[in-house]
Amino acid sequence: MFAKQYGPWALIAGGSEGVGESFALKLAAEGVNLVLVARKAEPLEALADRIRESSSIQVRTLVQDLTAPEMLDRVKGVTADIDVGLLIYNAGSVSHFSAFLDDTMEETMRMVRLGVVAPTILAHHFGEGMRGRGRGGIILIGSMAGYAGAPGEIVYSGGKAFSRMLAEGLWYELKPHNVHVLGLILGLTRTPAMARLGLAMNNPDFVPDEPDAVVEEAFVHLADGPIWNVGGKEEGARYLGTIPRADAVAFMAKGAKDLHG
Ligand SMILES: NC(=O)c1ccc[n+]([C@@H]2O[C@H](COP(=O)([O-])OP(=O)(O)OC[C@H]3O[C@@H](n4cnc5c(N)ncnc54)[C@H](OP(=O)(O)O)[C@@H]3O)[C@@H](O)[C@H]2O)c1
């Protein structure tokens, strides 16, 4: 049933670890073939091998930086002969925190390409095929940081706000074509990337979600759209949307301080 709507192939942009890994394992269990994209070859190939050994689905891998100019051509190179019925745009975290003016323009534009340009390109490319076939799904991973300008990661939070708008509008436009679009908004989640960033995972005010639980929720809400706030954060999201903007930004600044000092 799941594979009929979202198969026969899914592409996970950022599919080697954390939430991307959990999506890959869950989709394999549903009998959906996988194209996994990430920059580091070793964890990517290790996950692909693990899935091939434990299931009968096909797995393709693409070692590719999603922010690079040749990205779409490379993605087309591994998907031209298959129907991608589910796009999951998962890659997106910051690699460090910095005041806007203290970061390099190179890193700033990299975050724009990661959070805005690449999901737009991939949603446009794969959405076209899905609309033509009259079935499919697109999941864009967002962040609570997309609900207010987040000091220390301003461009990241702007990208996540954009991602939410993209998900909402696409949800409406593709609904008549039986293509389900979901903006999946994450709060703090226990991923290897967050461990590398050194975020506190033991703060009682920010209890991290687990990647498998995030993916369970995504599967439950994929057909509903347009937005699902993971881990019971619906109220928090609404709160940030209704309080004065200065207070919302101050809330983000305090959260950042609590998490990374
Ligand atoms: N973890 C959290 O607390 C949290 C909170 C809110 C929202 N989110 C969102 O959840 C998503 C997943 O986050 P995450 O913590 O797992 O970290 P992440 O750094 O986004 O990593 C997730 C995956 O994306 C790949 N990736 C990252 N940058 C890439 C690039 N430029 N090109 C290709 N692949 C890339 C990573 O592999 P490689 O490094 O090998 O490329 C990995 O497979 C992100 O969109 C993030 O914004 C996370």
Each residue's pLDDT tens digit, 194-227: 999 988 888 887 899 999 999 999 999 999 999 9
Please, what is the average pLDDT of the chain? Answer: 96
C-beta of 227 in contact with ligand 1 (< 6 A): no
Q: Is 145 exposed, middle or buried (0-12, 13-18, 19+ CB in 10 A)?
A: buried
Q: How many angstroms separate the CA atoms of 86 and 89, rounded? A: 10
* Structural domains in the chain plus CATH codes: 2-260 (3.40.50.720)
Query: Percent of the chain beyond pLDDT 90?
Result: 93
Q: How many angstroms separate the CA atoms of 178 and 58, rounded? A: 25
- Can you read off the two tokens belonging to residue 207? 């209890």
- Can you read off the two tokens belonging to residue 177? 């074509």
Residue 17 Cα, ligand 1 centroid: separation in angstroms?
8
Q: Is 218 exposed, middle or buried (0-12, 13-18, 19+ CB in 10 A)?
A: buried
Residue in 192, 180, 168, 187 with CA at minimum distance from that of residue 38: 192
Residue 175 Cα, ligand 1 centroid: separation in angstroms?
27
1: confidence class by pLDDT, cuts 50, 70, 90: confident
Give catalytic residues, as residue numbers: 156, 160
Residue 136 Cα, ligand 1 centroid: separation in angstroms?
23
- For residue 3, the model assigns a pLDDT of 94
CB 15 within 8 A of CB 34: yes
What number is the average pLDDT over the span 128-155? 97
261: confidence class by pLDDT, cuts 50, 70, 90: low
Closest-CA residue, ligand 1 atom 45, reads 92
Q: How many angstroms separate the CA atoms of 184 and 217, rounded? A: 9
Residue in 79, 59, 122, 85 with CA at minimum distance from that of residue 1: 85
Using DSSP's 3-state secondary structure scheme, residue 223 falls into coil
Residue 44 Cα, ligand 1 centroid: separation in angstroms?
13
C-beta of 93 in contact with ligand 1 (< 6 A): yes
- Phi/psi of residue 191, nearest 5 degrees: -120, 160
C-beta of 90 in contact with ligand 1 (< 6 A): yes
C-beta of 115 in contact with ligand 1 (< 6 A): no
CB 221 within 8 A of CB 182: yes
C-beta of 189 in contact with ligand 1 (< 6 A): yes
CB 57 within 8 A of CB 2: no
* In the predicted structure, residue 258 carries a pLDDT above the cut 90: no
Closest-CA residue, ligand 1 atom 23, reads 14
* Amino acid letter for position 134: G
144: confidence class by pLDDT, cuts 50, 70, 90: very high
Q: How many angstroms separate the CA atoms of 27 and 29, rounded? A: 5
Atom number of ligand 1 nearest to Cα 17: 43
